Amino acid sequence: MATARKRLTRDESQAQTRERILLAARAVVARNGFAGASVRDIAEEAGYSQGALYSNFSGKEPIMLELLRQHMREEAEQLQAIVKGSDGAASLDRLGTWAGTLNSEVDWSMLALELQLLAHRSPTFAADYDEVHEAHAKNLGQIVAEFYRSLGREPQLDPRELAAGCMALAHGLALQRRKDSEAPAGRLIMTFLGALLADAKPSESPGSEDRET
Amino acid sequence: MATARKRLTRDESQAQTRERILLAARAVVARNGFAGASVRDIAEEAGYSQGALYSNFSGKEPIMLELLRQHMREEAEQLQAIVKGSDGAASLDRLGTWAGTLNSEVDWSMLALELQLLAHRSPTFAADYDEVHEAHAKNLGQIVAEFYRSLGREPQLDPRELAAGCMALAHGLALQRRKDSEAPAGRLIMTFLGALLADAKPSESPGSEDRET
């Protein structure tokens, strides 16, 4: 019988619907790019009517913003794993490998950029976008701080600001890229980052908890 | 009589018309932003009919691209003057002052960015935009090379690529800025640039022409 299976609660069911829509959106974006991803295509890919989609998201922008938020979370987790539990030099190596694959799947920088531009035009959307952006800058800032610490160095600026600078660099480089060109973004970012780390002053009390107090 | 004054040649007259349209466009952009600058407003500001404007420019984009080209030329001249005929440390100081006033008049980074995004969507426009972008990256690359030389350092990468990285950083930071927020772009750019310069290896033959050969 239809009711024999365990029924999802209303909340679980809605969360599942949203997740399916987001998965579909990611597939459509991978295929057609952000500008070319329509709500109709996303609904079709997810197997829902446009009405059902609109009862979960108020339009294309909130879907894209949620995709970006998910991606940023994954990115922060990857970077956290790279920086954590390893000495600075090995982390820097692994970071270089990671940066070389940046945006190889979907060009997330371009999505961030398109949404940022939209935020410049719409104050309502800006509030939502800025929240997502700020959370990511803060997360990355903590990772930057931890990275400097593992190298026994003192950040030149507020780590959140350095992280925002790296985000800006990645977004600007994404804009310079053409579809048919090889992406030098990873190499350039690592050159800038490597210089920042090398130029940083030694910490006044490197690893103060581990050493003599 | 109307013919008593020195007549302009056809070419001179057309150049003057184009220059007036560009000046008007700059004024309109300063007032309304790029998105808000319409061909109608620009024609009105210049004192021409829209028809007269269209006989000089095929639309808004070519006007904006020409504005950007003019600005980039001015920027390269300013930077050239900062780097030239001074020791590296003094240049770095003056560069910091210059970076602090970046985009204080009109937000040129935002214009570059909007046109770059348009280039992502239109291959025809991409050809025009890429030409302007590439010329600027090349000019800035020469200035970067000269700057490293004046500090007796070896660039980490192709100077044109380093320059493109700085352009990307400035564009990405412009996107993060909100109208009502203070712009930390100059400070961040100088932090990144200062680190790059400090981290650069000494040249193998610093100022080879001036020293022992």
Tell me the pLDDT band of A210, cut-offs 50, 70 and 90. Answer: very low
Among candidates A156, A161, A169 on the partner chain, residue whose Cβ is nearest the Cβ of B169: A169
Q: Inform me whether the pLDDT recorded for B158 exceeds 60.
A: yes
Among candidates B126, B175, B184 on the partner chain, residue whose Cβ is nearest the Cβ of A116: B175
Tell me the pLDDT band of B107, cut-offs 50, 70 and 90. Answer: confident
| Contact between chains at B126 and A178 (C-beta distance less than 8 A) | yes
- Per-position b or e across A21-42, b if 16+ CB within 10 A of its CB: bbebbbbbbeeebbeebebebb
Q: Inform me whether the pLDDT recorded for B208 exceeds 50.
A: no
Task: Say how far apart CA B106 and CA B87 lie, in whole Å.
Answer: 30
pLDDT at B213: 38
Average pLDDT over residues A142-150: 91
The conformation of residue A153, written as its DSSP 8-state character, comes to: E
- One-letter identity of residue B109: S
Query: Smallest CA–CA separation between B172 and chain A, in Å?
Result: 4
DSSP string covering chain B: -TTSSPPPPHHHHHHHHHHHHHHHHHHHHHHHTTTT--HHHHHHHHT--HHHHHTT-SSHHHHHHHHHHHHHHHHHHHHHHHHTTS-HHHHHHHHHHHHHTTTSSS-HHHHHHHHHHHHHH-HHHHHHHHHHHHHHHHHHHHHHHHHHHHTTEE-SS-HHHHHHHHHHHHHHHHHH--TTS---HHHHHHHHHHHHHHHSEEPSSTTTTTS--
Q: To the nearest whole percent, how much of chain B has pLDDT over 90?
A: 47
Radius of gyration of chain A (CA): 20
Q: Inform me whether the pLDDT recorded for A184 exceeds 70.
A: no
Q: Inform me whether the pLDDT recorded for A95 exceeds 70.
A: yes
Among candidates B110, B170, B192 on the partner chain, residue whose Cβ is nearest the Cβ of A196: B192
The domain defined by A65-202 folds into: Tetracycline Repressor; domain 2 (1.10.357)
| Contact between chains at A194 and B192 (C-beta distance less than 8 A) | no
Q: Does domain A11-57 have CATH number 1.10.630.10?
A: no
Q: Inform me whether the pLDDT recorded for B179 exceeds 70.
A: no
Nearest CA in chain B to A160: B188
Interface of A with B (CB under 8 A): 35, 110, 113-114, 116-117, 120-121, 126, 130, 133, 156-157, 161-162, 164-165, 167-173, 175-176, 178, 184, 187-188, 191-192, 194-196, 198-200
Does this chain's domain B10-57 share its CATH topology with B61-202?
Answer: no
Task: Say how far apart CA B139 and CA A107 lie, in whole Å.
Answer: 29
The domain defined by B10-57 folds into: Arc Repressor Mutant, subunit A (1.10.10)
Locate the domains of chain A by residue range.
Answer: 11-57, 65-202
Query: Smallest CA–CA separation between B154 and chain A, in Å?
Result: 13
State the ipTM, two decimals. Answer: 0.85
Options 1.10.357.10, 3.40.50.970, 1.10.580.10, 1.20.1290.10; CATH of B61-202: 1.10.357.10
| Residue A102 near residue A185 (C-beta atoms within 8 A) | yes
Tell me the pLDDT band of A144, cut-offs 50, 70 and 90. Answer: very high
pLDDT at A57: 95
Which token pair is B9?
């040649």
- Helix (H, G, I), strand (E, B), or coil: what is residue B153? strand
Which token pair is A112?
């961030």
Tell me the per-residue pLDDT of A25-36, one tens digit each, with 9 for 90 and over: 999 988 888 888
CB atoms within 10 A of CB B10: 8
CB atoms within 10 A of CB A153: 19
Average pLDDT over residues A131-150: 93
Tell me the per-residue pLDDT of B68-99, one tens digit each, with 9 for 90 and over: 999 999 999 999 999 886 677 888 888 888 88
Among candidates A168, A172, A199 on the partner chain, residue whose Cβ is nearest the Cβ of B198: A199
- Using an 8 Å CB-CB cutoff, list chain B residues near A126: 178
| Contact between chains at A192 and B196 (C-beta distance less than 8 A) | yes
CB atoms within 10 A of CB B59: 10
Q: Inform me whether the pLDDT recorded for B123 exceeds 70.
A: yes
pLDDT at B87: 78
Helices (H) and strands (E) in chain A, counts: 9, 2
Average pLDDT over residues B17-39: 91
Tell me the pLDDT band of A180, cut-offs 50, 70 and 90. Answer: low
Q: Inform me whether the pLDDT recorded for A60 exceeds 80.
A: yes
- Using an 8 Å CB-CB cutoff, list chain A residues near B113: 113, 117, 175
| Contact between chains at B188 and A165 (C-beta distance less than 8 A) | yes
Average pLDDT over residues A77-101: 85
For residue A204, give the nearest of A162, A148, A165, A121 by alpha carbon: A148
CB atoms within 10 A of CB A76: 18
